[in-house]
Amino acid sequence: MPNRSTAGCTMVVESQTSSNELTAHVLTVVALLLGGCSSQEAPAAGPPRPHVSVANPIVREVIDWDDYVGRFEAVQDVTLMPRISGTITEILFKNGQDVKAGQSLFIIDPRPFRAAYLQAVAALAKAQATQINAKTVFERAQKLLGVQALSKEEYDNREAALHSADADVEAQMAAVESARLNLEFTTVAAPVTGRVSDRKVSVGDTVVANMTPLTRVVTLDPIWFDFEGAESFYLKYARLDKSGDRRSSRNTPNPVEVQLADETGYPHKGRMVFVDNAIDTHSGTIRAQAELPNPDGFLTPGMFGRARLLASGVYKAMLIPDEAIVTDQTRRLVYVVGKDGAVAPRIVETGPLVIGLRVVRAGITATDKVVLDGLARLQPGARVDTTLEKLGPRAEDTSPTSAPLSAPPSTQATPR
């Protein structure tokens, strides 16, 4: 007997000798197909809920730091020049060595200056002898005038001679001092403790007073870090100072930390010592300096560095992963799952990274369940299934990030 299949239903038709019976049988089968097979169709089921991971923000006290780029400068940078003219007879240092204040570096031929000094000393002795004689004569004239044995005119002459002798002694004493200084200046010493550059003259060269450069000496400990900040940052600091949240670096030694080009952390600690008195009208920036100890002389003037400056007081912040934040044109959003399982967007105010997580200053609370993944599939109001996770630090500290000059928000933060 043949088998026939229609819409998933199978029917068996037996051979019949009577056409009437066959027709009735076929009608019965068709009725079964129309009724029985349609009754087996199940209603269509809806799509499953999305499944996402959620977590509560970490609540931490943080301090903001602003990022700057600058270079190290010597506190004192001296171009050494002779104070007398003469011939170089000795050079007493090696190029690039560290020197102490008062250490002899050059010798200018002292013989002419020694002779001039001795001549001045002899002239002073002569003037002093003349002074003694003039004083004796004047004292005798006083006695003679008292007994009217000397005219008033002669008395005045002897008094004038004494005053002239006194003046000559003063002049010769000054000449001796000048000659002594010139003799002293034949030894050119380091004015400060620091590091000397190379020599600019050789033995036998004739140098001119206050004209010929001899070498350059820079101080190393302490050392300055010189940088410039945008006007927007200056305004932020001024307003924080006015509100009492952070004192101005103009009169407060706010902490500064510096990293070198091959470093990842900020191992060099210092403090603010200077903020300029005006903003540069061409660049829109203001110059500032921090002072750092440098006892081993490792930090060198001219060296490039990146610094972070204390930018706020202590405040509480929510910390969430960066991947939980969605950027919508100029806004930043996170998705929060409510008690009914529905997703709702929240506009947040973000800050810098700290311990590998992003600071959120406003927009969420510590009890909110923030969606961590699957953000591209979410729609506001959609219901989701969740798995609660616990956030933890992702890094020991924030890696440096650049701070755009047009935006004053901080680029660094550290936990408290």
**Both tokens assigned to 295:** 């006892």
| pLDDT(374) > 70 | yes
Judgement on whether residues 13 and 126 belong to the same structural domain of the protein: no
- Domain span at residue 136? 85-212
How many structural domains are present in the chain? 4
Mean pLDDT of the chain: 86
303 lies in a domain? yes
Read off the pLDDT of each residue in 345-372 and give the average, rounded to a whole number: 90
Judgement on whether residues 95 and 205 belong to the same structural domain of the protein: yes
> Residue 336's beta-bridge partner residues?
344, 370
Q: How far apart are alpha carbons 399 and 355 in whole angstroms?
A: 9
46 lies in a domain? no
Q: How far apart are alpha carbons 124 and 167 in whole angstroms?
A: 11
Q: Which of 270, 286, 310 delimits the end of a domain?
A: 310
Judgement on whether residues 151 and 114 belong to the same structural domain of the protein: yes
Read off the pLDDT of each residue in 225-249 and give the average, rounded to a whole number: 93
43 lies in a domain? no
Read off the pLDDT of each residue in 375-392 and give the average, rounded to a whole number: 88
268 lies in a domain? yes
Q: In terms of Cα–Cα distance, which of 123, 242, 229 is closest to 177? A: 123
293 lies in a domain? yes
Please name the helix (run of DSSP H) or strand (run of DSSP E) that holds residue 47, with its range, or none. Answer: none
Judgement on whether residues 130 and 174 belong to the same structural domain of the protein: yes
pLDDT value, residue 28 = 53
Q: Which of 310, 345, 373 delimits the end of a domain?
A: 310
Here the CATH number for the domain that contains residue 103 is 1.10.287.470
| pLDDT(13) > 50 | no
Task: Name the residue type at position 193.
Answer: T
Judgement on whether residues 106 and 198 belong to the same structural domain of the protein: yes
> How many residues belong to the chain?
416
User: pLDDT-based confidence at 23, cuts 50/70/90?
Assistant: low
272 lies in a domain? yes
pLDDT value, residue 403 = 35
42 lies in a domain? no
Q: How far apart are alpha carbons 414 and 20 in whole angstroms?
A: 96
Judgement on whether residues 293 and 327 belong to the same structural domain of the protein: no
pLDDT value, residue 407 = 38
Read off the pLDDT of each residue in 192-210 and give the average, rounded to a whole number: 96
User: pLDDT-based confidence at 377, cuts 50/70/90?
Assistant: confident
Judgement on whether residues 342 and 397 belong to the same structural domain of the protein: yes
Read off the pLDDT of each residue in 159-175 and give the average, rounded to a whole number: 95
Judgement on whether residues 205 and 101 belong to the same structural domain of the protein: yes
| pLDDT(336) > 70 | yes
User: By the 8 A CB rule, do 350 and 363 touch?
Assistant: no
pLDDT value, residue 356 = 87
Going by the DSSP 8-state scheme, the letter that residue 323 receives in this structure is: G
| pLDDT(226) > 60 | yes
| pLDDT(213) > 70 | yes
Here the CATH number for the domain that contains residue 224 is 2.40.30.170
| pLDDT(232) > 70 | yes
| pLDDT(323) > 80 | yes
pLDDT value, residue 145 = 82
Judgement on whether residues 145 and 116 belong to the same structural domain of the protein: yes
pLDDT value, residue 343 = 92
DSSP letters for 213-254:
--EEEE--SSEEEEEEEEHHHHHHHHHHHHHTSS--TTTS--
Judgement on whether residues 139 and 163 belong to the same structural domain of the protein: yes
Judgement on whether residues 199 and 238 belong to the same structural domain of the protein: no
Q: Which of 268, 285, 310 delimits the end of a domain?
A: 310
φ and ψ of 99, to 5 deg: -130, 160
Judgement on whether residues 165 and 234 belong to the same structural domain of the protein: no
357 lies in a domain? yes
Whole-Å CA distances, 331 to 100, 180, 349 = 59, 76, 9
**Both tokens assigned to 126:** 């002569």
| pLDDT(402) > 50 | no
Beta-strand relationship, 51-55 and 385-389: parallel
**Both tokens assigned to 213:** 């450069």
| pLDDT(75) > 50 | yes
Going by the DSSP 8-state scheme, the letter that residue 46 receives in this structure is: P
pLDDT value, residue 21 = 53
Read off the pLDDT of each residue in 199-210 and give the average, rounded to a whole number: 96
